[in-house]
Amino acid sequence: MKTMKSIVLAAAATLSLLSFGGFAQSVSVTDSTLDGAESQIAAIAQQHRGSYKITGASSNNFVRMTADISDDVRQSGLKN
């Protein structure tokens, strides 16, 4: 019984990782402007036929922006 419980838990953990991996891919870009960085992210999302949600941006001498690229356009709060 203990072995069966371990197998079920391992299978559930594996499936949850697989489903998360299929949901979004995180990307990071750098540019000299916010608009330029967002344009790069939009281009990546378009290549993957997906949508994106910016998760962070910082600037000093350049802009570094991160975003999640998703192939599920129906997710709320995501930009095209």
- Per-residue model confidence as pLDDT tens digits over 21-57: 456 799 999 999 999 999 999 999 999 889 999 999 9
Q: How many CB atoms lie within 10 A of CB 24?
A: 20
Asked if the model's pLDDT at residue 19 lies above 80, the reply is: no
C-alpha–C-alpha distance, residues 49 and 42, integer Å: 10
pLDDT of residue 9: 42
All structural domains of the chain with their residue ranges: 24-75
List CB contacts of 68: < 8 A, sequence separation 6 or more: 24, 25, 26, 27, 52, 53, 55
Phi, psi (5° rounding) for residue 14? -65, -45
DSSP class of residue 67?
A: E
The confidence band for 16, taking pLDDT boundaries of 50, 70 and 90, is very low
Asked if the model's pLDDT at residue 8 lies above 60, the reply is: no
The confidence band for 68, taking pLDDT boundaries of 50, 70 and 90, is very high
Q: Are 56 and 30 in contact (CB under 8 A)?
A: no
